[in-house]
Amino acid sequence: MAMKLSDLTAYAREKYHIREEFRWPENRRLSVLINPYNQKWAALLMRQWDEDTGEEVEVCDIRCGREVLKRLSRPFIQAPFRMHGIKWIGVRFDERTDRELVLRLFDKALFLEDARTYTVELPDLRETGKPQYMDTALPAKAEAMPDLKKATKKEYTSGKDISQKDTSEKNRSELLSWLEAEIFSPEERQSDPESNSMIEKMKGLYEPGDGSFRQKCKNFYLQGMFMKDYEDDLAYNGQVNLFIPTYHDLNTRQLRGYFAWRTGIRKGDYKSTCAAFAEIYIYELLNGIGVSSPEETFQKLDEFKENYLDAGFGNEEIRESVRRWAFEYAVIKGMPVETAYRYMDPALKKTDEDLMRLRFPDRYSDREVYLSMCSLAGIRPDASPVIQKNEDEGMHLFAEVWRKALTGYMVGGQDLFTQCFGRMYTFRFSPLRSAVYRSGKMPEDAEYRLSECRLYYVDGGQWMEQCCRKLYFDKILLEGIYHETDRNLRKYLNTGRALRKRDREAFLSPFVDEVIEEDRRMKKEAARPKIEIDFSNLDRIRSDALITRDSLLTDDEKREIEVSEAAVLEETGNPGKADNSASQKLLQKTEQENNILERTASSERTASLERTASSERTASLERTASSERTAFSEKTASSERTASSEECALAADKYEYEETYPEAGEGPGGSPILDETQQRILRVLLRGDPVDALLRDLRLMPSIVADAINEALFDEIGDSVIECDGSTLCLIEDYREDLEQYI
């Protein structure tokens, strides 16, 4: 079993009564063990989080003499990590660390130097009511530290040497009871006579076991479940500075204070307390102590965050620990993804969101895809003049290029996303490792998919994490995609200065050309006039035509209809049939007239469409002829002007577009890109000479000069060309050839 720092601190506490001290409140990952004989540091303990492995690395420096490195050759023993001097060595805690050897080195650290003798006199505590520590004799070099629990009440108060006494269990119990009576006031002792008995029973549940951190978590869970419903009212206003505190690390007075504070928390009375109490409360929630389900655990965590942390209590370390533990707890308990996202690391969440947008760009808007591209490439969203000119249009074009290249560009079976961000790698995931948490039995198979870019699962009894890591991102490739897209779009939209073409980015040009061609076609289609004909009024027109027809019937036509009806009546003798016959004839006539009206309306519509189309063709021909005449005039004038120049004689017959660049040292229109001073500085750098003396003579600050030159050449080169290292300017050699044209 791998040794941990907790094993060393437990050994120092049990054998020498040395408590781990945190001398730096802002950094709880550093602590020291102080030699009680000479008050010097015996060991410096360090904990640091490894982002690559996702694990906490534990190391320490021990003051046991540098000669140990010569006599012992062990993979976990090396030079000190932070301390300096011949008395320090470094120890790394992992699977190879020999526990017994490290403990012997710590023993050597305590007795490396000769112990000096001091005199301590302890007055009768019954006279003052409070313990007052004064000088007394400390043991010699080879003796163990005195154990006050082995002294009787009489010896403790008389100031005698108690280091060699060995008393019975009865005497030790009497001494502890008397000390507790001296520390507590009568009112405190009478507040709850049953409290101490409950706490003593809880202490009796502690099992030292193998002293491992797993055993520590097991003891915390057993003791916590025993005290899950316990309440107290004895407040404690002192400070408890412990790293990964548990019930076993607190004395009776501190335990009663914690349970009194917890009682108030459960009743909604949130008060400020020491960091150790807050951590123990969080440990209880994670272990299910005082809650009935994981859902209730998150409810209590939300209440603690809102009423305690957001109210200004605690510190940022507690807040970060709660966030991290809550996220890991959501993963192993299979909580809804929304719950895990609430507690996810903001930076990690932002990276995953950007990856999702670029992995599935069709699901997201143009703006979201473009901003994610800039975020992962480390480029300002407004860096391109294409975006500055028309933000919506520019973002749409950039996003479309990425969409087409993502599906159309493959190298070695890898799409563009995999080339930019790598495949999903698998790492060990150790949830709640830095918290006191009894994990119980590991599920044989479990899977928690946070997104298509992040997966957690159990493999062989170990949690694993599968995701894309920033370590493997190809930012150069992603920046090149942005640069090539920006270069072509500037030329297409005729905005900004032209950028230099790079050979390694040529693979993207076909996709950019395809997007530009589609955009040009859409703009041309949108420019055409739209003709809309409303056919909804045809029924009304037909009805009006029928009414008009009836009103135009002559009397002879009406009499003809009446005669027809009478003839039918004489033949059949049936008035109804006559009416029907007349009506039938009238309906037939009406239908014929309706057909004529419809044909007429159709002819009118066709004529209208033909006239409109003819007008459009005529207008289009006129515009085309006008454009051709204008272009011919401009071309003729340009040819005449160009022919007058001997340098452009050969290019007079070329009308295809060619990418042009500013003259060396000049921008568009011949305006200088760099002033005379900046060009002078560049010449010195290109020669390889130092510019410190020149800058002093010109009274210029190096950082300001570097920023000015980089900003002036950013649109031309697309990157910083000069770096400022304190008071020295350095030229980036990759851009030497590019810079020579600007001096």
Tens digit of pLDDT for each residue in 670-705?
A: 446 788 888 888 888 888 888 888 888 888 888 888
Distance CA 274, CA 126 (A): 30
What residues does 89 pair with on adjacent strands?
62
Q: Is the pLDDT of residue 195 over 90?
A: no
Band (237; pLDDT cuts 50, 70, 90): confident
CA proximity to 374, closest of 392, 362, 357: 357
Question: Which domain, by its residues, includes 14?
Answer: 5-110
Specify if 501 maps to a domain.
yes
- Based on the number of CB atoms within 10 Å of its own CB, is 663 exposed (0-12), middle (13-18) or buried (19 or more)? middle
Distance CA 42, CA 395 (A): 61
Are 384 and 515 in a shared domain?
Answer: yes
Distance CA 717, CA 499 (A): 7
Tokens (6 digits) for 617: 């063709």
Mean pLDDT over all residues of the chain? 77
pLDDT of residue 632: 42
Tokens (6 digits) for 244: 């990964």
pLDDT of residue 661: 36
Tell me: the pLDDT tens digits for 307-365? 999 999 988 889 999 999 999 999 999 999 999 999 999 999 999 999 999 999 999 99
Tell me: the pLDDT tens digits for 553-574? 667 766 666 666 666 566 655 5
pLDDT of residue 668: 43
Last residue of a domain, one of 491, 526, 561: 526
CA proximity to 154, closest of 177, 132, 124: 124
pLDDT of residue 558: 63
CA proximity to 102, closest of 71, 67, 140, 74: 74
Distance of CA 563 to the CA centre of its chain: 95
The DSSP-derived string for 689-735 is ---HHHHHHHT--HHHHHHHHHHHHHHHHSS--EEEETTEEEE-GGG
Instruction: Determine the average pLDDT of the residues in 113-130.
Output: 42
Are 104 and 134 in a shared domain?
Answer: no
Specify if 449 maps to a domain.
no
Query: Strand pairing of 41-50 and 410-411?
Result: unpaired
- Contact indicator for 110, 33 with CB cutoff of 8 Å: no
Are 473 and 581 in a shared domain?
Answer: no
Query: Strand pairing of 728-731 and 722-725?
Result: antiparallel
Band (709; pLDDT cuts 50, 70, 90): confident
CA proximity to 10, closest of 113, 99, 140: 99
Specify if 651 maps to a domain.
no
Tell me: the pLDDT tens digits for 268-300? 999 999 999 999 999 999 999 999 999 999 999
Distance CA 253, CA 189 (A): 10
Band (617; pLDDT cuts 50, 70, 90): low
Cα→Cα distances 258→199, 237, 261, 316, Å: 12, 10, 5, 21
Looking at residue 43, its amino acid is A
Tokens (6 digits) for 463: 């949690």
Least confident of 415-429, 497-511, 646-660: 646-660
Are 103 and 158 in a shared domain?
Answer: no
- Contact indicator for 354, 329 with CB cutoff of 8 Å: no
**Which of the pair, 406 or 549, is modelled with greater confidence?**
406
Band (213; pLDDT cuts 50, 70, 90): confident
Q: Is the pLDDT of residue 646 over 50?
A: no
Last residue of a domain, one of 343, 369, 402: 343
Whose tokens are 């159709």? That residue is 602
pLDDT of residue 44: 95
How many separate domains does the chain show? Answer: 6
Q: Is the pLDDT of residue 133 over 50?
A: no
Looking at residue 588, its amino acid is Q
Are 518 and 370 in a shared domain?
Answer: yes
Length of the chain (residues)? 743
> With b meaning 16 or more CB within 10 Å and e meaning fewer, what string describes 598-630?
eeeeeeeeeeeeeeeeeeeeeeeeeeeeeeeee
Crossing angle for the helix pair 252-266 and 275-286, to the nearest 10 degrees: 60
The DSSP-derived string for 97-166 is --HHHHHHHHHHHHTSSPPPP--B----HHHHSS-----BPPP-TTSPPP-GGGS-HHHHHHT---TT--
Q: Is the pLDDT of residue 50 over 80?
A: no
Tokens (6 digits) for 337: 């993804």
pLDDT of residue 671: 42
Positive or negative: CA dihedral 601, 602, 605, 607: negative
Going by C-beta distance under 8 Å and a sequence separation of 6 or more, which residues neighbour residue 562? Answer: 582
pLDDT of residue 592: 58
Specify if 303 maps to a domain.
yes
Are 376 and 503 in a shared domain?
Answer: yes
- Assign residue 53 the CATH number of its domain: 3.90.1150.30
Distance CA 721, CA 703 (A): 13
Are 243 and 288 in a shared domain?
Answer: yes
Are 482 and 398 in a shared domain?
Answer: yes
Tokens (6 digits) for 201: 């029973």
φ/ψ bin of 569: left (φ > 0), alpha (ψ from -120 to 50), beta (otherwise): alpha
Specify if 562 maps to a domain.
yes
What residues does 105 pair with on adjacent strands?
none
Q: What is the percent of the chain with per-residue pLDDT over 90, rounded to a whole number? A: 37
pLDDT of residue 696: 82
Are 170 and 230 in a shared domain?
Answer: no
- Contact indicator for 567, 577 with CB cutoff of 8 Å: no
In 3-state terms, the chain is what percent helix, strand and coil (to 5)?
Answer: 55, 10, 35
Specify if 419 maps to a domain.
yes
- The DSSP 8-state label assigned to residue 498 in this structure reads P
Are 495 and 393 in a shared domain?
Answer: yes
pLDDT of residue 551: 65
Whose tokens are 């890109």? That residue is 673
- Based on the number of CB atoms within 10 Å of its own CB, is 386 exposed (0-12), middle (13-18) or buried (19 or more)? buried
Are 330 and 243 in a shared domain?
Answer: yes
Specify if 695 maps to a domain.
yes
Tell me: the pLDDT tens digits for 146-191? 443 343 333 333 333 333 333 344 444 444 444 444 434 444 444 4
How far apart, in Å, do the first and last CA atoms of the chain sit? 67
- Contact indicator for 458, 443 with CB cutoff of 8 Å: yes
Least confident of 32-41, 78-87, 116-125: 116-125
Band (480; pLDDT cuts 50, 70, 90): very high
pLDDT of residue 718: 76
Tell me: the pLDDT tens digits for 440-464? 777 778 899 999 999 999 988 889 9
Are 509 and 377 in a shared domain?
Answer: yes
Last residue of a domain, one of 279, 312, 343: 343
Specify if 661 maps to a domain.
no
Tell me: the pLDDT tens digits for 722-740? 888 777 888 888 788 778 7
H or E segment and range at residue 34: strand 30-34
pLDDT of residue 374: 94
